[in-house]
Structure 1
Amino acid sequence: MEKEKKGVDLMKVIAHEASPPPCDRTLQIEVTEAHDGIARGLWKVDERFMNGIGVAMGGFVSSAADIMMAYAIATKLSGEQSFTSIDLHTTFHRPVLMGEVMVVAKVERMGRKVGYVLADLFQNEKKAASVVSSVMILDQ
C-alpha cells in the first residue's frame, strides 16, 4: 500500500502547477524561481507585520527566510524525501520596513541526513538579515 504524501508539493508550486501552502499566502511571500538548491522570492511587507516600534517583527523576518529555504532544499530532494527545520538562527543587519523584500536562499551543504541552508533578505538593495538553518532530511 502506497503512503499518501501530506502537504503541498513545493516543486509543483515552483512550476505554477499548485497553490502555495497557507503559510506563504499568510506571509504574502511568493517564490519567483527555484532550482539547483537556490530559491528566490518576494515578500510584501505591510502594516500587519509591523511591531510596536514600526519595523517588521523579527519572527516574521525569520519566517520569510524559512519559507524560501524550504523551496531551496526541495529542489535538492527526491520525491520520496521530505524535510523539517531543526535549527534556525537569524542575524539582523538593519530593520525591515514596509515594502518589498527580496529573499534569496541557498543550500550550502547537503548530507545524507542533514542539509545546511542560508538565506539573505534584501530591502532597497541592502542586506537586512541573514538566516542559517539546519534541515533534517526524512525518508518517507
Structure 2
Amino acid sequence: MVKTVNLHEVIRGESAPPACDTSLGVEVKEAKDGFAKGVWTVGSHLLNGNGVIMGGFVTAAADIMMAYAISSLLTEEQTFASINLQTTFHRPTFIGEVEVEAQVGKFGRTVSYVTAELKQNGKTVASVTSSMMVTKKQGQ
C-alpha cells in the first residue's frame, strides 16, 4: 500500500511534505482560507537544452501550491483531483527563487476553480488555472 501524505498536517507543520514537493524544490509557507503561498527554489537540474526551466516543471510547481490552497478548504474526509490544468507562460523561468501563490476562486461541492501565479524577480513568469474535482477519500 502506498503511504499518502496528509496535506493538512504539512500545512500545520506536523508532517514532512510529499516527495514531489521536495524533489521539485517547492516549499509551502502559508495555506489558509483557500489561499496558499510558497517558494520554489529552482535548480540547474530543471533546465532544458535551451537554458530555461522546462514548462512542465513550472506547471508542476503551480499545481503543488494549488493543492495546498484547495486542501485548506477541505475536510479530512475529502480529497481532490485535477480535471484540467492550463498554463500561460509570460517569460522564461531561470535558476533561482520563484514566488508561487494560489487562490481558490470558486469552491464548489464537486468542482472547484483554482488559479496560481508564479513570479521571479518581481515579474510574472506564468499564470495557471485548474478545475479540480472534490470527492470523498476512498474508504470514507
Same fold flag (TM > 0.5) = yes
Unaligned runs of 5+ in 2: none
Q: Is 1:38 aligned to 2:35, yes or no?
A: yes
From 14, 22, 27, the counterpart of 2:19: 22
SS of the equivalent of 2:22 reads: helix
TM-score for both structures, normalised by structure 2:
0.95
Tell me the distance in 1 between the aligned counterparts of 2:76 and 2:25.
Answer: 27
**5 Å matches for 1:29-68?**
29-68=26-65
TM-score when scaled to structure 1?
Answer: 0.95
Q: Deviations over 1:39-87 (max 9, x none)?
A: 0010011111100110000000000000000000000111110001110
Aligned length: 136
Measured on the aligned residues, the alpha-carbon RMSD in Å equals: 1.1
* 2:105 match: 108
The sequence identity of aligned pairs, in percent, is 56
Deviation at 1:26, TM superposition (A): 0.5
Instruction: Letter of the 2:52 partner, please give it.
Output: V
Structure 1 moving runs of 4+ over 4 Å: none
Deviation at 1:139, TM superposition (A): 1.3
Instruction: Give, as a single letter, the amino acid of the residue that structure 2 aligns with 1:120.
Output: E
In the alignment, which residue of structure 2 is the partner of 1:124? 121
